[in-house]
Structure 1
């Protein structure tokens, strides 16, 4: 049973290439899964809205493994590795279970977070559908014109503001 998740810092923009290299060059017994969480966002160009996938945590790749030492040795073979997060005095610590549960909630099919929909009533945001439903308190800011919500989550005890897709249907 693989239960430990690790975050690997890589060069921003090289996440897909890093995963591709890992799948080709490292021992697959060192990990169960290696992936880049992505997010669906709406972007307007040529006068129309288009769905677009973007990296949820630019510069990070996530790995599920029960053999962190072996994993770290294997990852050293790959260019663009910056460091494994949670490394302290030669030991590697997994992402906290609370953070894993949070990431799993947002991890939809294929490691892609789908867009949420909702409406504004007075000063309150009410999410009617999508992964933000029930987590309205995490929303720090919205950009209705770009269809984005800025949410704050903790990853390895550090607050991170991430952008996720949010379409506001109406404002009352």
Structure 2
């Protein structure tokens, strides 16, 4: 299966997603989806779990028939970007079939980050920045995706 990235207007990702699913044939489009991640956000004096879009302004398309997909989208004046195999494998290993990245927890020992639970476990070398206040980590991605990084929820529970 081949993945493509389709740019859409901000705040319209879900509308575009449903439109593509209803307009395109099963031959052209196996599935359309967005990637999401969990993060913690503090409001009203408490921490709340919040689901956010990992790639705002983008919808992913999966097809087995490249020609059919481009032919059916030609009339929509939409441009597609091919998702490379290493990018696809990275996102699948991180988010799974649900296309969702859950929260992770970790500790910092002697300046080194160690993820103790969650999907970021074993991916410590990809973490380029941690914002402990916002409970977020910035991860380096392969290729050209999202300017080379994505956000992921990470709660550091101990620092020594």
TM score, norm. by length of structure 1: 0.85
- Cross-structure match for 1:85: 81
**Of 26-35 and 102-111, the range deviating more from structure 2:** 102-111
CA–CA distance in 2 between the matches of 1:153 and 1:141? 13
- In structure 2, runs of 5+ residues without a counterpart are none
Q: Tell me the SS of whatever aligns to 1:20.
A: helix
1:151 aligned residue (126, 139, 145): 139
CA–CA distance in 2 between the matches of 1:148 and 1:157? 18
- Cross-structure match for 2:59: 61
TM-superposition CA deviations, 1:96-129 (whole Å, max 9, x none)? 2221110101224632110111001111000011
CA contact (8 A) 2:55 2:146 kept: no
CA contact (8 A) 2:31 2:61 kept: yes
CA contact (8 A) 2:106 2:154 kept: yes
TM-superposition CA deviations, 1:53-90 (whole Å, max 9, x none)? 111011111111121221123234558x4x2113xxxx
Q: Tell me the SS of whatever aligns to 2:27.
A: helix
CA contact (8 A) 2:27 2:64 kept: no
Q: Tell me the SS of whatever aligns to 1:110.
A: coil
RMSD of aligned residue pairs (Cα, Å): 1.9
Show the 5 A alignment for 1:68-107: 68-78=66-76, 81=78, 83-86=79-82, 95-107=83-95
TM score, norm. by length of structure 2: 0.91
| Closer/same/farther in 2, CA of residues 111 and 153 from structure 1, 3 Å limit | same
Show the 5 A alignment for 1:92-131: 95-108=83-96, 110-131=98-119
Displacement of 1:130 after TM fit?
A: 1.3
- Cross-structure match for 1:41: 39
CA contact (8 A) 1:148 1:167 kept: yes
CA contact (8 A) 1:108 1:114 kept: no
